[in-house]
Every structure is written in structure tokens, then in C-alpha cells.
Amino acid sequence: MGELRERIAKIDAAQVNINELSSQVVSLNQILSNKQERGAFGEMQLQDLVQSVLPPSAYSFQAQIGAGKRVDCLLTLPMPPGPIAIDAKFPLESYKALRAAADEAQRQQAARAFRADMLKHIADIAEKYIVPGETAEAALLFLPSEAVYAELHANFGDVVDQSYRKRVFVVSPTTLWATLNTIRAVLKDVRMRELASVVQKEVHMLLEDIRRLGERVDNLQKHFTNVNDDIRQIGISRDKVTRRAERIEELEFETPEPATPLAASERPTLAAGSGRSEAERA
């Protein structure tokens, strides 16, 4: 009885999960049955995919392009190729009619409706969201259902060909995820090229600084050479002055003896009538 009660408790918990899942499925059906809510569902799925793969600087939602037109998502890629528009479309009614067709006539009628819906979406996107000179030459149509995408490529090859001619490429959640990863790689490469250009510019400026530094070192070396030459010349002059001073110091000067007074007999006499001595006359 104890084991039985445990099993019944597990069944009750599983029943609660089933009931919750059923309510979620009902809510999803209600969302998909309303055209506006279905469009919002596709836009939210598109936003989740873009935000999970690309950096915030690489996209913008509800972006305005052309003559006041707004697109669900705009991938801001550099030129070329330029910004790429993505618009979410969900032709669920015609697809459900196609899947629910009971006979061939209903299937053909539903197929014509599905084809017309897809061609209209493709034409609208090509007309509104491919703006020469402002966006890339192509745009993306996002189908938020792998089943619809598979049906399109399996049984409506003419619609796919028309999308190629209009340069509107249809993507599903899986293929959009792969496309976004490719775009991220492109953006990373562009960023690396920009950084490489910056590094190259900085290296060029560094080389210019090194060249100027070398010139200033050469000028300083010349200055030092001139100073050394001046010091050498000063040393030569010092040596000359020193040698001259030494020669002067080595000179010997004779001291003169003092003069003795003359005797009276040796003194000169003056002749009569003359104020000069004989020696002076001589």
C-alpha cells in the first residue's frame, strides 16, 4: 500500500505537468490563431534569435528606413553589403488549410492561397526594405516555423525561385541562426581589420617618434663632441700657460751693487767761465 501511494503521488505530479503543458499549448494556439498576436510571436522569436547571436551594436529593432518605413529588424553591416532588413512573416492560415485539405481540390486551392501569400510577402519586402544606397541589395524573410519553411522548399520551388529573383531570401529559425553566426564572423573580421589599421597607424607614429629621438640623440652627441673639443682646447691653453709660467719662474735676475761716493780728487772740475766739466765738454 505504501508503494502504491508513492506511485499514485507520482502520477498526480505528472498529471499536473500534463495539465500545465496542455494550457500552454492552448495559449499558443490562441496566439497563433490571432493574426496580430501571431505577428508579435514571430517578432519576439526573431528578437530572441538576433539578441542571442549578435552584439547590441550590430542590430536595431523597428528601425526606420526609406520613406518612413519600419522593419522588424535591421542588421547594421558596413558597406558593402550594407544594412540588411529582416521582416517576420507567418502565413499560418493558408498553411493550416494546406495541411488540413481532405481532397486534391482543397489541397490545390490551399496551395494557391499559400503561394499567393508568400509571393505577396516577398514582393512587399522587396519593395519596402531594399532601398538603393541605404540598405543592402537583399533582404531576409523570416518564417518562425520550421514546418512552414520545409513545406515551402519541398513543394513550392517556384516561390523560392521568385524570392531569389527578388533578392528576398527566406529563412527559418535554424537557417537564420546559421546566417547570423556568419554575419557575426564577418563583423568580427571587419572589427579586426579596423583594429589592425589602428595598430598600423600607431606603429607608424611610433617609428616617427623613434626617428626624431635618434635625431635628437645625434644632436646631443654632436654637442658632447663640441664640448669635449672645447675642453681639450682649454687643456692645451692651460698647458701653454703653465709652461710659460714655469719658464718665467726659472729665470735668474742679477741684483746691482750699490754705488760708492767719489773722492775729492776724482770729482770733475769746472773750467773758468764754463759751467761744464772737462768730461762734459769732451
The backbone torsions φ and ψ at residue 87, rounded to the nearest 5 degrees and listed phi first, read -125, 130
Position 135 scores a pLDDT of 86
Q: Which of 127, 108, 128, 104 is nearest to 116 (CA)?
A: 108
Position 92 scores a pLDDT of 75
Cα 147 from chain centroid (whole Å) = 40
177: helix, strand or coil? helix
The domain ranges of the chain are: 39-225
Position 152 scores a pLDDT of 87
Place of cell 534569435: 49
| CA separation for the pair 76, 69 (Å, rounded) | 16
Q: Which of 127, 128, 174 is nearest to 148 (CA)?
A: 174
Position 258 scores a pLDDT of 61
Q: Per DSSP, which regions of 55-213 are E strands?
A: 59-65, 69-75, 84-88, 139-142, 168-171
| CA separation for the pair 90, 36 (Å, rounded) | 10
Position 267 scores a pLDDT of 57
Which amino acid is located at 238 in the chain? R
Q: Which of 230, 179, 136 is nearest to 50 (CA)?
A: 179
Cα 70 from chain centroid (whole Å) = 28
> What confidence tens digit (pLDDT) does each residue in 153-208 have?
888 889 899 999 989 999 988 998 988 888 888 888 777 777 777 777 888 888 88
Which amino acid is located at 113 in the chain? A
Position 264 scores a pLDDT of 56
Which residues are registered as beta bridge partners of 88? 142
Which amino acid is located at 43 in the chain? E
Do strands 59-65 and 69-75 pair parallel, antiparallel, or not at all (unpaired)? antiparallel
Position 219 scores a pLDDT of 86
Q: Which residues of the chain have pLDDT under 50?
A: 25-28, 30-32, 270-274, 279, 281-282
Position 36 scores a pLDDT of 54
Place of cell 541605404: 134
273: helix, strand or coil? coil
Helix axes 146-155, 173-250, angle to 10 degrees: 110
